Amino acid sequence: MMAAPLSAQTVATVKATAPSLRQHGEAITTRMYERLFVNADIKAMFDQAAQKSGEQPKRLAAAILAYAENVDKLQALEGPVHRIAARHVETGVKPEHYPYVAEALLPAIRDVLGEAATDEVLEAWGKAYWFLADILIGQEREMYAAPS
């Protein structure tokens, strides 16, 4: 199932969050990983050295910011999206893992941004997350199926 194309309103809402993400992105992703790693099986999939150093939250924050800034011109993100999909395949990420990230990311946005993370903002980010997740899942499916 492919996510519906993002509406103009969703795109505008996501783009409008870019300044907040620039300022608070690492706090959001750090909080997201705290929420995500309550699940030991998910935590085991991640390089904990990259977590402790702050490198992984920093990389994810940069990726989320790039997505927010380019959500209306996704062709600008083809290279990074391909690299993320390849990394996911290396580490065994499967479609069933994506809901866990959504369930950690969206509340983390609210945890960090507080009242600025309105229901409208979280709904837009939920749609944007699943739109991108579908792209990644599709690329990962092809990579998993390719002869090695």
Residues annotated catalytic, as ranges: 98, 140
Comparing CA positions, the residue from 54, 47, 49, 52 lying closest to residue 26 is 54
Distance in angstroms (rounded) separating the CA atoms of residues 21 and 33: 16
Sign of the alpha-carbon torsion through 53, 56, 59, 64: negative
**What is residue 45's DSSP assignment?**
T
Given a contact cutoff of 8 angstroms between Cβ atoms, the answer to whether 63 and 80 are in contact is yes
Q: Is 125 exposed, middle or buried (0-12, 13-18, 19+ CB in 10 A)?
A: buried
